[in-house]
């Protein structure tokens, strides 16, 4: 369902951040993407939701060829992919409910469906009781839960997360991981770049290690690796 074939990415400054990546991620898999800073993890992930386009090679997501995808079709892709960032990027003047509903309204859902779906999703991340609050009234962990709710409210087949626990304390990080586990157990593919060794070594999943723009290691139930 996610296929990369000989993907190569050279930034305008000449940096080669992907240097011949070929991999395949099946529907329902949970994949950690690990590797040193600057190795190309974010680039790998950004190419999956077409934040960056590859310079060469083929990327297929749910049968869509991203190399050939016209700009007008990008919203169609984004509807099938939820994205979670390290810095939360919630809209500060909107309530928790509105921040999550926003993701549905932009695809023209009916109002009654919006309410039902948003509250179900907030329930899943444990924040139904805070639906009327503003992001500034929430802790960092709670804000991250809202962004996760926002990313899954459309029922995407894939959730892509770049360092989702990067700014969170260890306890909160575990809570956030439980939500990703739950999402994955419902059949959603999860691709997560992380530096969190403890999480990768405890909640075992496939590990793709990227070094200098290539896949250096790809193991089912892998370890984080890289001695600290």
Binding positions for ligand ADP, rule: CB under 6 A: 11, 13, 15, 17, 35, 37-43
How far is the CA of 6 from the CAs of 39, 124, 169, in angstroms?
A: 17, 38, 37
Task: Please give the Cα distance from 227 to 158 (Å, whole number).
Answer: 30
Nearest distance from C-beta of residue 225 to ligand ADP, angstroms: 14
Nearest distance from C-beta of residue 65 to ligand ADP, angstroms: 22
Query: Helices 140-152 and 96-105, interaxial angle, to 10°?
Result: 20
* Cβ closest to ligand ADP, residue 42 vs residue 188: 42
16-25/189-193 β-pairing: unpaired
* Cβ closest to ligand ADP, residue 36 vs residue 141: 36
Nearest distance from C-beta of residue 40 to ligand ADP, angstroms: 4
Nearest distance from C-beta of residue 114 to ligand ADP, angstroms: 34
Nearest distance from C-beta of residue 160 to ligand ADP, angstroms: 13
Contacts of residue 42, defined as CB under 8 A and 6 or more positions apart, other chains included, come to 162, 193
* Cβ closest to ligand ADP, residue 54 vs residue 135: 54
Outline where DSSP puts E strands in the chain: 2-10, 16-25, 30-34, 56-61, 64-65, 81-84, 158-162, 189-193, 206-211, 214-219
* Cβ closest to ligand ADP, residue 135 vs residue 213: 213
CB neighbours of residue 171 within 10 Å: 9
* Cβ closest to ligand ADP, residue 142 vs residue 162: 162
Residue 62 has phi, psi (to 5 degrees) of 45, 45
Task: Please give the Cα distance from 201 to 143 (Å, whole number).
Answer: 26
* Cβ closest to ligand ADP, residue 51 vs residue 181: 51
Nearest distance from C-beta of residue 46 to ligand ADP, angstroms: 7
Strand partners, 162: 193
Tokens 């793709």, residue located = 208
């Amino acid at each position: 369902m996610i296929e990369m074939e000989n993907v190569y990415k050279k930034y305008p400054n000449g940096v080669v951040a992907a240097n011949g990546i070929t991999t395949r991620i099946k529907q329902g898999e949970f994949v950690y993407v690990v590797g040193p800073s600057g190795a190309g993890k974010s680039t790998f992930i950004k190419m999956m939701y077409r934040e960056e386009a590859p310079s060469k090679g083929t990327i297929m997501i749910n049968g869509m060829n991203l190399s050939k995808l016209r700009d007008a079709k990008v919203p169609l892709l984004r509807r099938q992919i939820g994205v979670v960032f390290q810095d939360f990027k919630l809209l500060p003047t909107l309530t928790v409910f509105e921040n999550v509903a926003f993701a549905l309204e932009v695809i023209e859902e009916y109002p009654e469906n919006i309410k039902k779906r948003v509250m179900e999703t907030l329930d899943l991340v444990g924040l139904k009781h805070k639906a009327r609050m503003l992001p500034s009234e929430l802790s960092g962990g709670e804000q991250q839960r809202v962004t996760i709710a926002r990313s899954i409210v459309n029922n995407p087949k894939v959730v892509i997360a770049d360092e989702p626990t990067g700014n969170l304390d260890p306890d909160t990080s575990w809570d956030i991981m439980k939500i990703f586990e739950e999402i994955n157990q419902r059949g959603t593919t999860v691709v997560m770049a992380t530096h969190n060794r403890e999480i990768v070594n405890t909640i075992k999943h496939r590990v793709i290690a990227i070094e200098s723009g290539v896949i250096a290691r790809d193991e089912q139930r892998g370890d984080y690796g890289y001695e600290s």
